[in-house]
Copies of this chain bind each other. A is one copy, B any other.
């Protein structure tokens, strides 16, 4: 059984990415959110008052796709919109949102742990450095 895609890095890239995302989504579990929501919460937690457009630029998500995500998180009482300069709106965690951040942090590292225990810490660090060089 020949596998013509096995020697291609791109194939293993998407395959490994899917494995990691699967682990992360499973770790979010009963929180009822998925990896893009978790990423948005992490970014806002690290940058209180950040705009939706900036979040999209950091995470490579269109701002038109950020809007409904944020709305859902606002409805859950985890996020709050406060008007800023001009037409901009700053995003902040509510108290309820801050309370779940430990769980978000823990779940977001599920994929990392899976990878690390499988390839080792040194290979993890080397691959991370390599991929960060890519534009």
Contacts and interface: CB of A to CB of B under 8 A. Distances in A.
A121 to B, nearest CB: 11
A128 B18 contact: no
A64 to B, nearest CB: 17
A contact patch SS: helix
A133 B19 CA distance: 13
A90 to B, nearest CB: 13
A133 B108 contact: no
B18 A60 contact: yes
A37 interface: no
A35 to B, nearest CB: 9
Contacts of A130: 119, 123, 126-127
A12 interface: yes
Contacts of A17: 10, 13-14, 16-17
Contacts of A14: 17, 20-21
A9 B43 contact: no
Contact of A16 (B42, B47, B111, B131): B131
A3 interface: yes
A64 B14 CA distance: 20
B10 A13 contact: no
